[in-house]
Every structure is written in C-alpha cells, then in structure tokens.
Structure 1
Amino acid sequence: MKIAIEGCCHGALDDIYFHIASLEVQNNYKVDLLLICGDFQAIRNERDLQCMAVPDKYRALGGFYKYYTGEKNAPILTIVIGGNHEASNYFWELYHGGWIAPNMFFLGHAGIFLSHDWPQSIERHGNLHGLLKRKPYFKGDIETGSLGSPPMMGLLRTLKPEWWFSAHLHCRFEATVLHPDTEVVHEGAETVVERNPDEIVIEDEGVEDEIPAAASAAQYVPGGTPAPAVVANPDEIVLDDEEEEVAKPPPPPPKPLETKFLALDKCLPRRQFLEVVDIPTGSSSPSPVISYDPEWLAITRAFNRYMSTNRPQLAYPDEATAREAVQRELEWVKAHVFTDATGASLEVKPVEDVQVFAKTAPGPGEAESTGKVQPPHYPNPQTAAFCSMLEIENKVDHVR
C-alpha cells in the first residue's frame, strides 16, 4: 500500500492533493492513504478562527471548509492529527476521533505512530551534523535536551512501531532507532549479537538431530542416485545407546527491532513536505478501511472515569491497577463491540459502522458563521455514537 505522509498542513489541502496527483502521474502509481502530521487547521468558518492558536497575521480561512461543506471531496482517504496551531474547538467535538469531512478522519487525542512534535533525542539517531548544518538554531535545544517530547520517545521505545512520522520543526529528517532487546554490534567485518544479560539459559536446552546407524545405509546425492549401501560388519557389536551426532549450523543472528523515523516540512514551494512510502499490509482489501483497535477501546473505557470535566485533574491509578482494569475492559469490548447481531465474533469493526460524518457548524457565509466572537460548542453526533457504543458517559458534550 502506498502511503503519502505530509508534514505540517497549515490549511494547504488543495496544494497537497495537487502535489500527490502530480506524483501519481509522474510515477504511474496510486496513493492509497494520506497521513497529515498536525497543524492541520480544520477551519469551518470565520468564527472558528477565534479559536485558532496563531498570531493574528496568520489567521486565514484556508481550504478545509470546502471539503467540510461538500464543495470539494477529498480524493484520498486522509487521516490527520492535531498540532500546536489548530482551531481546537472542532477537534474537541471529536475528542475520541471521527470524520471531520467526508473521507477525512481525525484520530482524536491519540496518535501512536503519528505525532506532531518529534520524540526527544531522536536527532541523535540520524544525521545530527546535517541537521545542525541546516538548522543551526536547534543546537541550544539539543544540548539542553529540550528538543522534542520525552513522552513520545517513551512511547516509541515501548511500542516499537516499524514507522514513526512527525512534523512541527519544518524540516525533513530521517532516523533509525534500534531497540535494545538484541543490540547488534559491528566489530570489523563481523556482526556480534549481544545476549540479554537477564536471559535464563538452560544447559540442556535444545536437542541435537539424531540419525540412527541403520538410516545411514543409503544416502541421497543431490541430482543423482542414492549412494551404494554400506554393508554392516556382521561381527560388529552395536550398543543400544550408541549415537551419531550431526553438527548443526549456527542460527543466523536475529535482526534487531528498529523504528524508522521520518519528519517532514510544511507545504511550501521547494520544501520537502511530502513523502510516499510503500508499506506491505498483507490485506486483500482494494482500499484501506479505518477500523477500531480493541485495546484502545478498552483503554478508553477504563480511563473515561478519570476524564475531568472541571479544572482539577483526577488522580490516575497505579500501573498494576490500570493494567488490570484495561484487561477487564478488553474482555467487555470483545464481547459487546466485536460481535455481530448473532453474537459471533468479529475480527474487524469499521469506524463507519458507528460514526458517520455530520456537518455541525455553519460554513462560511451561513448564519452565525461570521464575527470576531467565540463560536458555541456544537455537540457532535459522532462522539455521542462512540460513547454509546462503549456505554460510557459522554463527557465531551458535558453541560456545565
């Protein structure tokens, strides 16, 4: 599956789709999915601009509203996350994720393999010298360890995804993070695999291949006929416990787990803002389908009670208690969400079975869309449907 990854969007959807269409013509391929790594700027009307976290000179309507109102259609299934320059009111309506326009899905307040900011210290896993040559003002933040997000690196080290995509710093940067389960150390021309010091090795572990003496009377010669049988000495005394050991070749060294990191620039001329990667999926589906992850649904159910509707944040449980709660909720999710009308188990639960795009705020020029005032909160039926599916309280639309 060919996936296009875009750095910061900043409302330039038309330019992004045009660029992808040009690449498809030039390279004779079809892009199946577009991922946008934040600063998306889902502005539906002029009043949404009052919720936009940018200086006044950057407040612009952008092109998203055309896809929101149906004036245009997204030509590629598009998945987006939020950044630090957003009109956060619309994304808050879809806190748990949902369709922000037809064929355009917001992941909600979660990313996993997509993040707007970089994971902290990721720059040390790539060409740091080249990065500083292009962005010398990064040096201070790198030296103080303040470039990037510490929780993001924690997630990367824990989840060990094959890919991680980011934006935010407006430059293209590649890195590869090797995970320390099995570190590969290069010594000269040899590759040495370091054993995990905590691994328990049982001395008699493994059983060598055994070939009885009688079985070696005729041996197979590749491309020819069996070799002549070896005539046994009738006077030979064969002991019952006599064995012939055959040496086994050593196993190849395990390939270390690694995460390929890619950050991209914002959509401007002569900038490296988009990359197309080919990722095997093992799926026979002709087009990608967005579906729910059962573990994430279980986490959402387990932690919904801690989502505060007031300024103070409720205290979270300790890790052991949290893990037990998630495991219980996972069983609930499998029994209540991942089943059909007959009670049979489902392997996949498409999002569109539950959440369907709905226009909640007026478009530009419509009633209550203009003026430099904060827009009201628009309850989104997708969030209500999501909470109903999980049988949790809808705290996003909580009335204070």
Structure 2
Amino acid sequence: MQTFYKYYSGEKKAPVMTLFIGGNHEASNHLQELPYGGWVAPNIYYLGYAGVVRYKGVRIGGASGIFKSYDYRKGHFEYPPYNHESLRTVYHIRNIDVFKLKQIQMPMDIFLSHDWPQGIYNYGDTADLLKKKKFLRQEVEFNSLGSPAAAELLSHLQPTYWFSAHLHVKFAAVMEHPPKGSALPRVTKFLSLDKCLPYREFLQIVDMADRSGSSDEGLEYDPEWLAILKNTNSLPSISHQNWNPPENNGLHEKWDFRVSEGDMMKVVEDLNGNLAIPDNFCLTLPAYDPTNPHPQMSPSYNTNPQTTEMCATLGLTDIYAQVGQSRELSQSFSDSRGENNESGDELSEYPTDTSALSGSFNPDEITIEDEWEEEEDAKEVEITKLSTGSIHTPSRLILPAPKSSVSPGDLMNNMPSPSHSTPAPVRSQSQSDSLNDSKEDTSPTRVMKRSSDEKANPGSRNTTPLIKRRNQEIYTTVDDDEN
C-alpha cells in the first residue's frame, strides 16, 4: 500500500487541480467505477476510459490503458475479484474508446496517453533516447515501439500538446501534421517524463493562456464529448468477443457518429445550462486503515454515485453496472441449476486468489528498476548502504555528464524546431551512425536479473543495485487472432 489512500480518505488534499488517466499501475476496481470519469479523491479527477474536459477554456482529453492487440477489440468485461488474466486485461485499451475519440472534430489543446504513440520517437532526438534506453533499439529500428491506437488518435486529433509516460525517460518531440485541405498544418509538441524519483527528470511546467471568454468555474464538461457519448451509447460491449467499429461499407444502419451543433445544444439543455463538473466525490468503500491493513482482502465490486448521477442526467448506460447485472444473472442461472459448492457458497467464474496483486512481477511493465538507477555513462555514483541491504541516503552523488547538446531547459528548448515541413524528419549521418555503433547485445529479450541468492538475502549484495530491465514486447501491431 502506498500513499493514495490518504487522499481518498481526506487526510491529504492535492494542492492543485490534478487530472490523470489510467496506466498499468492503478487500482483498477476503483477506476472501473468511473468509466466516464470522475473524482477519485478531492481535487483529483480521472478522465475515464476516454474523456475530454475543459479547464478555463483549455480543452484536455485522454485515453487510459496500454495497448495489447489481443484485447484491443474486446469489450470491458472485467469484474472483481480479478483472476490472473483479468488483473492485466482490465487496463488494456479498447477500440470502442478510441472509436469515440475519433468522432471529435473540434480542436484539442492537450491530450494524455500512458504509452507513446507509435513512431513519435522519429520526431525527436532518437539517438539520445537510445543512449538512455538501449534496450529499445530493436523496436525503434523496426518502427514498432509504441501504441498504434495512440498513433491513430495523434493523426486524427492533432493536439497542440501530447503528454505520455510508461517508458521512464524524458523525451521531447515536435510533429508537424500534413495539412488537411486548405487548412494550415498543425503542430503537436510531445513530451514524456521520467519516473518520480530523486535526480530524475519527472517534472516540467508548461504555461498555457486562458481562453478569452472562458468560464472561471473550474473544471467543466465538454459539450462535444458528452454528445458523442450519447450518440455512441448503444455501442459499448461487456463481452469477451471482438467488436468492430461501424464503417462506411453499407453493412451498418449508421456508421458516422460525429455530432452536430444541435446535439451539443441538447447536452447543454440536459445539464440546465451548467457545464461545471459537480464537486460530488464520495467514498464507495471505507478508507484504508494502516493499523488494520487486511493485506489479503480481494478487490470488491461497487458502483459509484458520480457515474449513476451522470448516466441518469444524460441517458447513458453505466458500463460497470451492466457488467455487474450480467454477472448476477449468470450467478442466478447457476443457482437455479444447483451449481453451488458443498458449503452453500456461490461459485465464482473468477478465482479469488489475489496473490498476484501483491507480487512485484508485471508482464506489462516496460522496465523494472531499483530506486537508484546506475546510468551507463554516469561518471560516478557512491551510495552508502545499511548492513541489511537497504539503500541509505547517498553521502556523495556525482551526476552524469550531459548526454547530448540538448539542454535540460524548458519544453521549447528541449524540442526540435517545428519549422520543418516534412512529416517525418530524416536522421543525419551522425544520428544514423549512433544507431548502429554499439556492438553489444541490446535486443529486447536481454534481461539483467538478480541471482536467487540476492533475492533471498538482499544483505549479501555489496555493490550498487543492479538494473533490472525487461522489455515485455507489450506492443504488437498485428492482431493475434487474424490470419
């Protein structure tokens, strides 16, 4: 258990308005309560499976989860307590949510995704990226690193800024999109940051001006997005089966789910002209008590009043409640056939073993690193350790020398000039050489692990903690169930 429970309970409060999306390390059952977004704690707002909101006129969108081709076309079928499979699939992005976002027509200021859009590394300092993360070389060379779903959204939405995470490295890029019709080409400034650890580049401030005539009410609903949710309400699936979005091929009665100005005005009427997102956070479970931790407790199923209220106001379907109802019907059918165990307890189609919850292994993790990482080209790092093997505060730390000519200044200084006109910049000879000058084994399957002795007796280690790097090939561009 980390520290989020203190914000959930109200013991702490985020000092500034905080928006976030889900990645692959969140409390999935809590986020499932809010498929359309909502407050997970006071002043901390979740954008949902996919979502768009406005803050002082600035339009902010996001898509939660990471891309896995074999789950991409499934519905949101997961339900706690999770088994070993659903514990992972619950945070894999689905095509229905990408389809909804692709109905957006109005300009986007900021967009968030956990994993990177596929190919975005071609628009920044790729050579410097591979100096920091050598094990990404093969995927970069084959142009397979990143999410193809996020790449589709990047091409469609063309936001002013796109922020990502997941790869635990700071990286900036500038992508100029091909012009659409007579419109001027749009430019997206991409930024990914490192893990939130000492001496890592995990924070950067970007200033954006308020929109003229914008409201000072704080966080607001976006009319176009709410209209899209209403327009696509019949599409979401809670099935394990694959779902394909409607296409203009004559097979679907309706394939174009873009919304009109009238659709947006209807949403505003539904909200009585008030677009302000209500401050209606509430606890759906008792807050964690560190004096009574219950480490083996399974995640539980709860609907959230925020979602219930929003669905009632706009005529939407609560996807998570729908999963629960389907589960109850299935259980009732089993009961009617006498399929209970000897003790009279109901059988569950999901095993209740939650041992995976507390395990450190996560096959969807790009890297697993110790709190202190030894960079390849660091000059020197001296760390004093306790006899138990735990890391003590460093008595002397000499940081690595700069790895490139790019200064660690603000966003504009970190990014290439946006003046180029070609969609993908051509690497210079020096950059190309740098991609091939390493003779060491840098394939994605190369893994540095601790020995079993080190795991059993951490105090036996007398060197700087090893870096454990694992690229689990989380990105697959070809659907496994095709062909």
Question: Residue 153 of structure 1 aligns to a residue in which SS?
Answer: helix
Q: What's the counterpart of residue 131 of structure 1? A: 129
8 Å contact kept, 1:337–1:389: no
Give the number of aligned pairs. Answer: 263
Amino acid at match of 1:72: K
Q: What's the counterpart of residue 335 of structure 1? A: 266
Q: What's the counterpart of residue 385 of structure 1? A: 309
Q: What's the counterpart of residue 74 of structure 1? A: 14
Alignment of 1:108-119 (within 5 A): 108-110=48-50, 111=62, 113-119=111-117
Q: What's the counterpart of residue 223 of structure 1? A: none
How far is the alpha carbon of 1:160 from its aligned partner?
A: 1.1
Q: What's the counterpart of residue 295 of structure 1? A: 224
Q: What's the counterpart of residue 142 of structure 2? A: 144
Q: Deviations over 1:319-358 (max 9, x none)?
A: 5865644436x634422434665xxxx4x61111xx6101
Alignment of 1:131-280 (within 5 A): 131-181=129-179, 256-280=185-209
Question: Residue 139 of structure 2 aligns to a residue in which SS?
Answer: helix
Instruction: Pick the aligned partner of 1:107 from 47, 56, 59.
Output: 47
CA distance in 1, matches of 2:229, 2:277: 15
Q: Deviations over 1:33-81 (max 9, x none)?
A: xxxxxxxxxxxxxxxxxxxxxxxxxxxx111110100111111000011
TM-score, length basis structure 1: 0.60
Distance 1:259 1:297, change over 3 A: same
Identity %: 41
CA distance in 2, matches of 1:367, 1:101: 21
Distance 1:300 1:285, change over 3 A: closer
Q: What's the counterpart of residue 10 of structure 1? A: none
8 Å contact kept, 1:160–1:258: yes
Determine which structure has more spread, i.e. the larger CA radius of gyration: 1
Distance 1:130 1:322, change over 3 A: farther
Amino acid at match of 1:276: I
Distance 1:340 1:62, change over 3 A: closer
How far is the alpha carbon of 1:391 from its aligned partner?
A: 0.8
8 Å contact kept, 1:306–1:315: no
CA distance in 2, matches of 1:140, 1:164: 24
Amino acid at match of 1:306: L
Q: Deviations over 1:72-124 (max 9, x none)?
A: 11110000111012221111011110000011100001116000101111001
Question: Residue 385 of structure 1 aligns to a residue in which SS?
Answer: helix
8 Å contact kept, 1:306–1:314: no
CA distance in 1, matches of 2:312, 2:292: 30
CA distance in 1, matches of 2:301, 2:7: 21
Question: Residue 351 of structure 1 aligns to a residue in which SS?
Answer: coil
TM-score, length basis structure 2: 0.50
Q: What's the counterpart of residue 397 of structure 2? A: none
Q: Deviations over 1:353-378 (max 9, x none)?
A: xx610111111239997241322211
8 Å contact kept, 1:364–1:370: no
8 Å contact kept, 2:160–2:188: yes
Q: Deviations over 1:213-270 (max 9, x none)?
A: xxxxxxxxxxxxxxxxxxxxxxxxxxxxxxxxxxxxxxxxx97421000000110000
Question: Residue 175 of structure 1 aligns to a residue in which SS?
Answer: strand
Q: What's the counterpart of residue 275 of structure 2? A: 349
Question: Residue 221 of structure 2 aligns to a residue in which SS?
Answer: coil
How far is the alpha carbon of 1:382 from its aligned partner?
A: 0.5
CA distance in 2, matches of 1:310, 1:367: 40
8 Å contact kept, 1:94–1:382: yes
Q: Alpha carbon RMSD of aligned pairs, Å?
A: 2.7
CA distance in 1, matches of 2:5, 2:147: 31
Distance 1:115 1:303, change over 3 A: same
Question: Residue 210 of structure 2 aligns to a residue in which SS?
Answer: coil
CA distance in 2, matches of 1:338, 1:104: 27
